[in-house]
Chains A and B, each alone.
Chain A
């Protein structure tokens, strides 16, 4: 479907010609986000520079019934910013101003196109920082972080994006500006800020974000523990949490991931280990000292073969660099990789890892595991070659099987990457029809015509019927009352 010429004219007149891209060669850059297996060149790209321009653009699209997909930096891993047919791609990268960093109020007010890391960089001279740190923090924008409720390696103690937001300004599909939350975090009425966080651009477009800043901790220590058995490492994770210590970060890697990271960034990881645990502790000096000793005792008690403390900040950053570059590192081992994002209750870590390893043999595809062990958030990286007939499909089937396993043990199909277009199928195994229907009704409350990011995040019931037909569980079809098309 072609975009109505009058829309292009209206937007060019209102926003200026430099804010509207319609030529295919200019639009092709925006054909995908970081889920590159899905691509579609947008027909029209609009780059507003102010809240008023976002309102104008949305109102113009709504009048014509044209769908709108919002995009930040395009670092999302689930295809949430994938353009839709006949739609406008609303790129918020030019809304990139840090409006205020207020040390006394411990908050920063920024536009959505500001990168995650830029907030901490601006706050640092004041002794403050922004806690959530997704691996893509150099590039990803705070607007995208709000849309996905992004996590990172420090969520266990300092929370997700949700826990670090105070207020957002949101433009609805009608072009109306809403303020949700407040500088205190609370606001009268329902806690809509929480509902909007992680809503994947389905309910509104975020045009301003106020985040809570934290004081830079007095002391930070990073400990690396090696294990010769994945199960023992997973067991140590559960015991550590149960012991009453909440590390700032608790990350685990298995042997393929350790080797890939070491080969990529030479950060001193033990290449002969079966599993590696990175445990970061922060707080007051005395507290960190006490906890560090307790953690070391506990890990040795669980069979750690080697413990190493990062000597200083440089050493700490080097030790983290392997973990933070694990995805591209694994990317060097195979032509393609597929990153999964399920979360499970921690007690099932060892079993689920064991099962993933068996499935790796069944699907004949190698897998590397890096994950936020403290949160139970797995990131299995399935390696494949899309050039080989059937391998992409096999990788996707393997991925879906992992996510179903996560649901079966009481977890979820996505911990922090979002559903996007990628996990629409697996969503059907997590939610029954009645819950999915309520999600669709919620969307209609914000966006009656279904123009914002249509087709993402929540599967249609018909799609689930198809998905169920492909995957029969124990002889019972999910959504069994639906007609099959």
Chain B
């Protein structure tokens, strides 16, 4: 795929929109257009602004233009025995690195390896008034200035257009083993709580339909001992299972029904009534199919968590859990710092943000 630096074209487009009071719908591969609120504005496609700029496996860092395809990065890292720690979903082959950062979504490894923001080291951005700025860098430890780079993770393009990103990468493990255990929802949650207190190399978990599936990573000898200790049946193609879960091609994810994501504190018990459920991240992420808005929000609030209308939400209602008034004011102030005229992705995160 041809590399191209389209910085000046993108700057021109944003400045022009700002000058004419227009708005822009910023996107990469449009693989996650369903996520967040819908933006009605002229499209600003960043996906042709692509190319890997720097990658030295010994530094554990990769820097690329935001339009670079995620699968290209994944393949590049795999060739050196490395990977992105947070196992991001791709959803379609067109997914880009910039879109991945802007959406801030992590996959099955989230509970053990952290979120996108944890591994985002630096960015080059284009603000809503046409400034090109650089924050962070390519080193792991860096406390010079405010950590502006990390607030881009999950900002859904509401602050700035991402031009380049630098991410920390990690080596692939010596080996991996996926095992299945039969367990009720309560029993599975109890075991996950117990096991997450122990020094086990648990890097992913999933409960669905009476089966708890775990992924363990380490040396073959350690994995053999863990298998004896935890029991269960080894999964033949573990990689395919976790890929299907990550990409939501697992049988649970019925595309015809609305999908809610509940983010709940660890230790939250089985939920009484939120429709068909699939549990990940040691119980901290629960997917609910066909549930209604009120019960999702209410259940999340009862347990100190929050609910997101992940896919197929109806109408103009808020997708994300509403912010407190004080945090809402702060978000508005921050928006003015980066995008004073409100050019970029207006209303993508909240109706007024």
Contact = CB atoms under 8 A, between A and B. Distances in A.
A241 interface: yes
Contacts of A128: 197
Interface string B301-315: 000111010000000
Given A187-B306, A239-B58, A215 B139 contact: no
Contacts of A192: 151, 327, 330
Contacts of B265: 105, 182-184
Interface string A421-449: 00100010011001110110111111000
Interface in A97-133: 102-107, 126-128
B197 A215 contact: yes
A176 B333 CA distance: 16
Contact of B171 (A246, A286, A434, A436): A246
A417 B143 CA distance: 8
A366 interface: no
A283 interface: yes
B133 A242 contact: no
A75 interface: no
Contacts of B155: 190
A130 to B, nearest CB: 15
B56 interface: yes
Contacts of B146: 195, 198-199, 202-203, 439, 442-443, 458
Given A106-B266, A194-B147, A162 B219 contact: no
B141 A375 contact: yes
A241 B58 contact: yes
B193 A442 contact: no
B172 A163 contact: no
A283 to B, nearest CB: 7
A129 B156 CA distance: 35
B218 A410 contact: no
A427 B145 contact: yes
Contacts of B135: 435
Given A215-B197, A431-B145, A446 B330 contact: yes
Interface in A305-353: 343-347
Contact of A191 (B117, B127, B333): B117
Contacts of A105: 265-267
A414 B143 CA distance: 6
Interface of B: 56-61, 81, 104, 114-115, 117-118, 127, 131, 133-135, 137-148, 150-151, 153-155, 159, 170-172, 174, 193, 196-201, 218-219, 221-222, 225-226, 263-267, 284, 304-306, 308, 320-324, 326-327, 330-331, 333-334, 336-338, 349
A483 interface: no
Contacts of A443: 146
A290 interface: yes
Contacts, number: 238
Given A186-B263, A246-B170, A416 B139 contact: no
A9 B328 CA distance: 35
Given A185-B115, A239-B58, A103 B139 contact: no
Contact of B59 (A172, A345, A377, A441): A345
A203 to B, nearest CB: 8
Chain A residues touching B, range: 35 or more
Contact of A183 (B61, B137, B304): B304
Contacts of B284: 184
Nearest to B322: A188
A435 B149 CA distance: 12
Most A CB contacts (10 A, CB to CB) among B56, B141, B197, B218 go to B141
A103 B226 CA distance: 22
B222 A285 contact: yes
Nearest to A197: B147
A373 B327 CA distance: 39
Contact of B197 (A103, A189, A415): A103
A322 B136 CA distance: 32
A256 interface: no
A105 B192 CA distance: 11
Nearest 4 A/B pairs, CB to CB: A415-B141, A242-B58, A244-B171, A445-B333
B267 A194 contact: no
A459 B141 CA distance: 20
A20 interface: no
